[in-house]
Amino acid sequence: MDADHSHGQPPPPPPSSTEILMAALLNVPAVQLPGLARALAADARRLQSRLAFLLLSPPHFTRALARLRSMPLPAKAALLGRALLRSLLLLLPVLCPDGGSGGGGSTHHHHLLLQPPDLDAALLLLAMCDSYSPAAAAPSPVDWRAVIVDGVVASALSVSGLGGTPWAALGPYVDAAAKCRRFADAVAAVAGDGGTKDGEGSGAASYAAVLALIPVAVDGAPCAICREEMAAGGRGVCGLRPCGHQFHWRCALRWLARRNTCPCCRAELPAEDPLKETRRLWRSVERMARGG
């Protein structure tokens, strides 16, 4: 009877992106959390200062806005995706190469983190998304500087904006990181990219992952890609990180130009494509949330 009763119940809804993130954060060592909160608060202050500088300097604001307007829609979508991905990487530094020390200090290693002038354009784009209200839009061209200033002032005077502790900065980063997966799914749906049938990443590995290949000495085992023997003590063999499987250099380079997975164990390497890299990182977040 119990089986019949449970069979008649609808399945529980899948956890939301925010719930998955919070579960992953619960697995972060408690000793690292205060440093993480301070790092996020410091980063939030830096971004606020940079946005204030853009708003107070018409030439710099005009330059950043012109750069943003010159981008085609797919480039704007990629920029927004990378801006949201930045929050995820700062919130969970262990996702970054050589990360895991807490406090966000290692995130500069990730190849998709924004640098000026893209960072300025991303700040404006995020501020536009946060401040713009279609219901209040005037028929004339939007004065983006005035709209963003109003939004920044309203945010600064809100309860969260007046928060006096580093922990007050945690919420906005969780919200932005949760949007990271939803945005990637939306872009994939529009592009008709459902991923590979096994759900793993595809496409080229990142340049950083290729540069991380290391020369190794072998014992004559065959290359898993071409099946030819790798000469013992030869110099044309490399190893993948982090799994350590070995291949001919030429075979590994050709393989990684098309795929970001190890041909032996299917371990995922960082992907050059922002959408695929977001999906790869989110799978890591889900494993963290499960305690893996």
Q: Where in the chain is the domain with CATH 3.30.40.10?
A: 207-272
pLDDT, residue 101, reads 42
Average pLDDT of the chain, as a whole number: 83
Instruction: Give the residue, 97 or 245, on which the prediction is more confident.
Output: 245
The mean pLDDT value for 204-210 works out to 89
Answer whether 271's CB lies under 8 Å from 206's CB: yes
Answer whether 271's CB lies under 8 Å from 82's CB: no
Q: Tell me how far the alpha carbon of residue 236 is from its chain's centroid.
A: 34
Percent of the chain with pLDDT over 70: 82
Examine the pLDDT at 239 and tell me if it is beyond 60. yes
pLDDT, residue 137, reads 57
Answer whether 289's CB lies under 8 Å from 20's CB: yes
pLDDT in tens, 276-290: 889 999 999 999 999
Examine the pLDDT at 61 and tell me if it is beyond 60. yes
Pick from 111-115, 183-187, 201-205 the range whose average pLDDT is largest: 183-187
pLDDT, residue 212, reads 87
pLDDT, residue 71, reads 94
Q: Which of 69, 22, 77 is nearest to 278 (CA)?
A: 77
Contact partners, residue 259, CB within 8 Å, separation at least 6: 202, 203, 204, 205
Q: What is the pTM of this model?
A: 0.78
**pLDDT tier for residue 217 given thresholds of 50, 70 and 90:** confident
Q: Which of 99-108, 161-170, 235-244 is least confident? A: 99-108
pLDDT, residue 99, reads 45
Tell the CATH superfamily of the 207-272 domain.
Zinc/RING finger domain, C3HC4 (zinc finger) (3.30.40.10)
pLDDT in tens, 73-94: 989 988 999 999 999 999 998 8
pLDDT in tens, 40-60: 999 988 999 999 999 999 999
- The upper half-sphere exposure of residue 40, i.e. CA atoms within 13 Å in the direction of its Cβ, equals 27
Examine the pLDDT at 31 and tell me if it is beyond 80. yes
